[in-house]
Amino acid sequence: MTQEQPIEVIVAAFPTEQGAKEALHDLDEAKKQGIIGIKDAAVLSRDQEQKLHISESADKGFGRGAVIGGVAGAAVGILAGPIGWATLGGAAVGGLAAKLRDGGFPDERLRQMGEGVRPGSSALVAVIEHVWLKDVERMLQEKGADLATEAVSKDIAAQLDEQATREQEKQVSQEMQGGNEMPASGDQMPGQQGQQGGPPPGTPAI
């Protein structure tokens, strides 16, 4: 029986703030043309004010503030480190990173690359099937990226995606609950004295 191929995580570091975004755009175009396949992708950058920013592949379809896919989110969590989690999804990103490490993922190289994301630089995380590994690595190397590639078993990848989906559903539920607040107890309800169309104060009851 043929052994199941793992999922590959590629991290590409760029010396410019826009480098990773431009590379992601090129990968998206290659995917649309059928040249390569990408399961998920995210960009991590740090601006001149030391603030971390994360953006996801434009065609993911997640709403505002949504977590990215499980494997990419976990890799971003390792890159950002605990200090960066607050701006990248907090406990959700940290939990994904911890689960990936617990699955035996060697995170030292990614942590080193994360520390190297200085103001004005950026990093791209791409999650791909093993069959596309060489093609994607070649494209990123041609753009001058510093690369690190690690494999994740499909079992661990599936668990990470399930965890990310639960976090997404939880967030959507919380946002919906926040928009359906009940009136305060002191608010007047229909039929109470003084509502529009009722008898003016002092009018005798009939």
pLDDT at position 199 over 80: no
Q: Which residue has the higher pLDDT, 87 or 144?
A: 144
Residues 117 and 85: their CA atoms lie apart, in Å, by 15
Residues 175 and 62: their CA atoms lie apart, in Å, by 14
pLDDT at position 131 over 90: yes
- Paired with 11 in beta bridges are 125, 148
Give the pLDDT confidence score for residue 13 in this predicted structure: 94
Give this prediction's pTM: 0.72
In the chain, what are the domain boundaries? 7-178
Tokens of 47: 């601006």
User: First vs last Cα of the chain: how many Å apart?
Assistant: 90
Phi and psi at residue 144, in whole multiples of 5°?
A: 80, 20
Residues 55 and 48: their CA atoms lie apart, in Å, by 17
- Paired with 53 in beta bridges are 45
Give the chain's mean pLDDT: 78
Pairing of the two strands 121-129 and 40-46: antiparallel
pLDDT category at 104 given cuts 50, 70, 90 is: confident
Q: What would the pLDDT profile of 30-74 be if each residue is shown by its tens digit?
A: 999 999 988 889 898 887 887 778 876 544 433 333 446 889 888
pLDDT at position 150 over 60: yes
Give the pLDDT confidence score for residue 108 in this predicted structure: 86
Can you say whether the dihedral through the CA atoms of 79, 81, 85, 87 is positive or negative? negative
What separation in angstroms does the CA of 44 have from each of 47, 52, 62, 174, 178? 10, 7, 17, 26, 29
Could you tell me if residue 202 is left (phi over 0), alpha (psi between -120 and 50 degrees) or otherwise beta? left
